[in-house]
Amino acid sequence: MDHVIIGTAGHIDHGKTALIKALTGIDCDRLKEEKERGITVDLGFAYFDLPSGRRAGIVDVPGHEKLIKNMLAGVHGMDIVMLVIDANEGIMPQTEEHLQILTLLDVKCGITVLTKTDIIEQDWLELVTGEVRNRIKGTFLEYYPIIPVSALTGSGLSELTLLIDTLCEQVRPRDTELPFRMPIDRVFTIPGFGTVVTGTTISGSVCVGDVLDVHPPQLSARVRGIRVHGEHSGKARAGQRTALNLAGVSIDQLQRGNLLAAPNSIFPTTLLDVRLTLVSNFKRTLTNGERIRLYTGTAEILCRVFLLQSDELLPNDSEYAQIRLEEAISLSSGDRFVIRSLTPLQTIGGGVILDPNPHKRKRFKEPGITELKILESGSSEAILAHKAAHAKEWLISRDEALRSINRSDITDALENLLRSEVIIKINSENKEYLIHRDKLATLADKARCMVSDYHLRFPLRPGMPREELRSRLISAFDSKLFGILLNFIQTDASIKIMQNTVSLISFTPKFEGRRLGLRQAILETFAKNPYSPPALNELCEMLKLSRQDASELMEALAYTGEMIKISEGMYFLTESVIAAKDMLLKHFEKNNELSLADFRTLIGSSRKYALLLLEYFDEQKMTIRSGENRKLK
């Protein structure tokens, strides 16, 4: 791996900072308090070049029990850890706690370093080495060497450096294809440059000129300059210690615990689905609803933990839980975390985030547990398909679906699902949405049932108004997106989509009982005066009907093709319109133009009705106005 971050861990005064200085020549104790007291209080940073030519960043963490918060802010980005133990003192309380934290954060690679070997006898060194070997048995450090060194004499440093270089080959590269993320661990200003932040880039890459989101407090900042391991660079990648000079934000707007991320790649949350594990030496149980401290990245947040499978969690046990945060934070699936009790302040467990933006879950519900199992151990395709199948509003945006699954193969997984049509892609307003095929089938069934029920209630209406169907079926989306969805499901739903209504393909208006007699009366009335038909309000008076009933009857007759709606509230018999059209065409066989007066004479009607018909023919693209007259188009 080209870029690695090496970190220290271990008890206070066991020689972590001295070891780094001996390896790199850099003193990580930069604060006045650290110089005066001779102990590391906050994170320190260094780098050095390995024999292979790769440059490794180093994060030095404090070892005091009261400074675990600072230690946790530095350990999140480590690829290789050096667990430092004073060979004279052996394993101490913070050695134990730091090892627990490294295990909870799923650090995979490390070296146990015994320091201050210049002041002890060989017999004692062998005794301490055996004790340490027994303690790290069963941990990730078990299969890695224990190296004795002396920062004072330099003994063992060459062997340690060579081992670090070798281990770099085993470190899995961080994903530079994922969106950029960097938890901030330092904020300061440099005269002439302004705001500077540092951190370990945990995914993606960033270039000078890029605009980044700051989480929280939901700000935007532009990258003015980049330094990687102390040197100017145009780009920083995952796995590098990075300093960014930011424009658009001031130092008082930022703090340790903030996260820099690519725009719109991650969103705040106050709810987390997690797999939670307690450490084995916790002296009591963790109870449902208990208030704790959560540490992830460089952030520390108060929260409550709600167990989903039991009322209490025993030491060394593990289960699914939902964590409700007291402040918003932005995280990704797969991020690791540590939890500590409020009083006494001690590390009690940790785990992995399964869903950073979940819905509120009910406890002891098997469907929810099944979903978490898929999120925890399912393939990217299985997780993505599940997300689409359980989207709240039928659809899920492509960005939201991919953002919630922090895996490098997620784009390929989506393409496979689209090819197999497990997931269907829908485009609207330059935005991509995804819908599972099962949800699309369910949507078609619901639409068919709703339209069918509408026909039963209103047997003469030509169909269900589209907006009414949208409001009942999928109100969260706009009319345009709904129209696209309707087109997708119309075959499976057996529906016919008209401009403003939706009907079943098999539907025809049913004139039964009194309506059958009214139909006959209307047809006879219109046949008596084919070119002077009554308007809708006149028809209401003639047949003693409400406007709604009359409108439904006329719309039904138009649907069956017996009537044509010429304009709002005005209908003609279809056969009358066809006859008028024939008269019009015969006129144009001998004439180039047709006046309103000519047409009125042809149909034997008044100017009012002649004009209505001509305007209808204009709309049908049969005729076109030429001054006061019409021409055949």
Which pLDDT tens digit goes with each residue over 387-443? 899 887 888 888 888 877 888 888 899 999 999 999 999 998 888 999 999 999 999
Instruction: Identify the CATH number of the domain defined by range 268-368.
Output: 2.40.30.10
Please choose, from the candidates 583, 566, 557, the residue with its C-alpha nearest in 3D space to the C-alpha of residue 617.
566
Task: Band the pLDDT of 66: cuts 50, 70, 90.
Answer: low
How confident is the model at residue 31, as a pLDDT? 58
Q: Is the pLDDT of residue 135 over 90?
A: yes
Q: How confident is the model at residue 174 (pLDDT cuts 50, 70, 90)?
A: confident
- Residue 202, judged by CB atoms within 10 A of its CB (0-12, 13-18, 19+), counts as buried
Q: Which amino acid is at 346?
A: Q
Domain parsing of the chain, residue ranges: 4-168, 181-261, 268-368, 438-504, 517-633
450: three-class secondary structure by DSSP: helix
Other residues' Cβ atoms within 10 Å of the Cβ of residue 291: 12
Judged against a pLDDT cut of 80, whether residue 249 lies above it is answered with yes
* pLDDT of residue 16 exceeding 80: yes
Q: Does domain 517-633 have CATH number 1.10.101.10?
A: no
The pLDDT score that the predictor gives to residue 87 is 93
Mean pLDDT within 274-290: 95
**Res. 224: pLDDT tops 90:** yes
Average pLDDT over residues 480-499: 90
Residue 228: its H or E element:
strand 219-228
Residue with the bigger pLDDT between 349 and 478: it is 349
- What pLDDT does 226 receive? 96
424 versus 30: the higher-pLDDT residue is 424
Pick one of 1.10.760.10, 3.40.1160.10, 3.30.565.10, 1.10.10.10 as the CATH number of 438-504. 1.10.10.10
Question: How far, in Å, CA of 209 to CA of 196, rounded?
Answer: 15
In this prediction, residues 93-112 reach a mean pLDDT of 92
Q: 488: alpha, beta or left, given left = phi > 0 and alpha = psi -120 to 50?
A: alpha
Q: Rounding to the nearest 10 degrees, give the CA dihedral for residues 545, 548, 554, 556.
A: -120
pLDDT of residue 136: 94
pLDDT tens-place string over residues 605-620? 999 999 999 999 999 9
pLDDT of residue 39: 58
- Reduced to 3 states (helix: H, G, I; strand: E, B; else coil), residue 42 is coil
**Residue type present at position 269:** T
The amino acid that residue 342 corresponds to is L
**Strands (E) located in 382-526:** 396-397, 423-428, 431-436, 464-465, 495-497, 501-504
In 3D space, the residue among 104, 64, 107 whose CA is nearest the CA of residue 339 turns out to be 104
Bridge partners (DSSP) listed for residue 595: none
What are the pLDDT digits (tens) for 302-319?
Answer: 999 999 999 999 999 999
Average pLDDT over every residue of 253-267: 93
Average pLDDT of the residues in 53-59: 88
Q: How far is CA 514 from the centre of its chain?
A: 57
Token code pair at residue 30: 């930069």
Strand partners for 244: 197, 226
Q: Which H or E run includes 326?
A: strand 318-330
Strand partners, 287: 312
pLDDT at 162: 95
Q: What is the pTM of this model?
A: 0.78
Provide the residue type at 438 as one letter: D
In the predicted structure, residue 43 carries a pLDDT above the cut 70: yes
Instruction: Provide the pLDDT for residue 398.
Output: 87
Give the pLDDT band (50/70/90) at residue 35. low
Q: Does domain 181-261 have CATH number 2.40.50.100?
A: no
R_g (Cα) of the chain, nearest Å: 38
Mean pLDDT of the 562-589 span: 92
* Average pLDDT across the chain, whole number: 90
Residue 576, pLDDT score: 94
Q: Please give the pLDDT value at position 476.
A: 79
Average pLDDT over residues 523-545: 90
CATH domain 4-168 topology: Rossmann fold (3.40.50)
The answer to whether the peptide bond before residue 93 is cis (omega within 30 degrees of 0) is: no
Band (pLDDT 50/70/90 cuts) for residue 633 is: confident
pLDDT score of 601 more than 80:
yes
Q: What is the pLDDT of residue 32?
A: 58
Judge whether residue 14 has pLDDT over 60: yes
| pLDDT at 28 > cutoff 80 | no
| Average pLDDT of the residues in 134-147 | 94
* The amino acid at 488: F
Residue 111 has pLDDT above 90, yes or no: yes
Domain 268-368 and domain 438-504 have a common topology: no
Residue 2: the pLDDT is 67
Burial of 607 (0-12, 13-18, 19+ CB in 10 A): exposed
